[in-house]
């Protein structure tokens, strides 16, 4: 991705702000019962913010070395953002239209509709796991991220894929397995904080490119 140097830091800053917002919205949607209008707005902005935060991470990693894995990770996380927005909006729409009294036939139809968002949920997990794995791989030799954060990301993403494969189409948390979603979110939050404390390094790298 070719971007003028003066936009690189702006993308990184955008990624930081978006990452912090994502780190708030994700657990808020999981654990707080919002009015439907508020919930819908948060869902609508979550996917784009995930994409922007991933773009910022891509540019931060690419300051050291441009890799195919980082580029593919960005694409994967953008798709993940689209899928989770779709999944959550479908989920809200289905729940808001649930009839109070349903027959056996309509119950079957309702159960089938409910499986739609379960499939989207699994798809979201696949793409966020793939994006996390590829980002973690591209961080392995990064001087400001390094091997510990890289290896932890690799392990988390592989575990996420395995758990979803075992429990499909039911989410791991509903199948008595461990829900790694919050762990993935925490991993990205830690990286966002690491980038904040390494903005001086960003300035030095950009200055070295100009000199």
What is the rounded distance in angstroms from the CA atom of residue 137 to the CA atom of residue 70?
8
pLDDT the model gives residue 191: 96
In the block, residue with structure tokens 């808020």: 28
Q: How far separated are the first and last CA of the chain, in Å rounded?
A: 22
- pLDDT per position as a tens digit, 120-160: 888 899 999 999 999 999 999 999 998 999 999 999 999 99
DSSP state of 144: T
Condensed to tens digits (0 to 9), the pLDDT of residues 158-203 reads 999 999 888 887 778 777 788 888 899 999 999 999 999 999 999 8
Residue 60: pLDDT band (50, 70, 90) is very high
pLDDT range class, residue 97, cuts 50, 70, 90: low
**Mean per-residue pLDDT of the chain:** 86
Return the pLDDT at 12: 95
Q: What is the mean pLDDT of residues 62-80?
A: 94
Q: What is the DSSP letter of 168?
A: T
**pLDDT of res. 104:** 53
Highest mean pLDDT among 78-92, 110-124, 183-197: 183-197
What does the alpha-carbon distance between residue 17 and residue 55 come to, in Å, rounded to a whole number?
Answer: 12
Closest Cα partner for 144 from 65, 70, 54, 52? 65
CA–CA–CA angle 113, 100, 41 (5° rounding)? 60
Q: How far apart are CA 63 and CA 54, in angstroms?
A: 14
Q: Average pLDDT in the 108-128 region?
A: 74
Q: Which residue reads 């919205």 in tokens?
A: 25
* Residue 104: half-sphere exposure toward Cβ, Cα within 13 Å: 0
CB 52 within 8 A of CB 18: yes
pLDDT-above-70 percentage for the chain: 86
Confidence of residue 79 (pLDDT cuts 50, 70, 90): very high
Distance CA 121, CA 19 (A): 21
- Any idea where the domains of the chain sit in the sequence? 5-210
Please state the pTM of the whole predicted model. Answer: 0.86
């Amino acid at each position: 991705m070719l971007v003028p140097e003066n936009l690189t830091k702006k993308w990184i800053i955008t990624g930081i702000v978006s990452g912090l917002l994502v780190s708030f919205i994700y657990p808020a949607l999981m654990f707080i019962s919002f009015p439907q209008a508020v919930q819908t707005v948060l869902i609508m902005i979550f996917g784009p913010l995930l994409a922007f935060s991933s773009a910022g991470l891509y540019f931060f990693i690419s300051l050291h070395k441009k890799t195919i894995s980082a580029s593919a990770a960005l694409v994967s996380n953008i798709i993940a953002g689209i899928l989770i927005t779709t999944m959550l909006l479908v989920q809200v729409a289905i729940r808001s239209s649930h009839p109070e009294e349903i027959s056996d036939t309509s119950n079957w139809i309702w159960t089938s509709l409910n499986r739609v968002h379960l499939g989207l949920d699994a798809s979201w997990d696949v793409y966020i796991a793939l994006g996390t794995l590829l980002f973690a791989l591209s961080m392995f030799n990064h001087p400001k991220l390094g091997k510990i954060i890289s290896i932890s990301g690799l392990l988390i993403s592989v575990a996420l894929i395995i758990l979803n494969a075992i429990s499909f189409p039911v989410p791991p948390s509903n199948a008595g397995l461990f829900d790694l979603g919050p762990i993935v979110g925490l991993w990205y939050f830690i990286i966002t904080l690491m980038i904040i404390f390494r903005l001086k390094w960003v300035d030095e790298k950009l200055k070295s490119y100009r000199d």
